[in-house]
Amino acid sequence: MSVTVETDDGPIEIMREQDNEAVLTGDFAKTSRACPPFCIQPMTPAPGVTTIGELELLDMLQDPDAMVIDSRTEDWFRTGSIPGAVNIPYTYVIDELAQLGCEPDFDGWDCAGARRVALFCNGLWCGQSPTAIRNMIEAGYPADRIFYYRGGMQSWRLLGLSVTDQTG
């Protein structure tokens, strides 16, 4: 029925909304967006990357050795995120590879000790996490240590799962 994840602000319980009358509103209720830039993303953003769903993401949120990354820009992150996710915007994920277990070397990054990471953004139509994933792999991050939550915030919210309040 619920999962508790540790966050910097303490434990947060993730569960589904219990109101059978709840509906999506705002940006996540839209069914159409201009393409480009909001084009439907491929199931797998790069060879070797594993695409996952909500249950696998919940497992990763509970794994202290894994990291779940909200790769959206900070303005999107402030509208609410998945509890336990760390905001590393896609625009500078390469600059933050040290947080993910990589070490700088003369050729860029040594990612032999890379953590298992899951990245997400706004949903099936959002290219922020696929872009971050491709950039990470190009920088030397092992594709088999990267997981892609393709459904992103739209699917998360559609399922009525708990969202952090970053506005306060």
Domains of the chain: 35-81+92-158 (3.40.250.10)
For 116-148, give one letter per residue: b (16+ CB within 10 A) or e: bbbbbbbbbbbbbbbbbbbbbbeebbebebbbb
pTM for the whole structure: 0.94
Q: What is the pLDDT of residues 97-112, one digit of tens each?
A: 999 999 998 888 999 9
- Rounded to the nearest integer, the mean pLDDT of the chain is 94
Closest to 60 in 3D by CA, of 164, 148, 160: 148
Q: Give the model's confidence band at 31: pLDDT under 50 very low, under 70 low, under 90 confident, else very high.
A: confident
Residue 113 CB neighbours (<10 A): 10
Q: Give the model's confidence band at 25: pLDDT under 50 very low, under 70 low, under 90 confident, else very high.
A: confident
Q: Give the model's confidence band at 166: pLDDT under 50 very low, under 70 low, under 90 confident, else very high.
A: low
User: To which residue do tokens 């459904």 refer?
Assistant: 151
Which residues lie below 8 Å from residue 141, measured CB to CB, with a gap of 6+? 97, 100, 102, 109, 111, 114
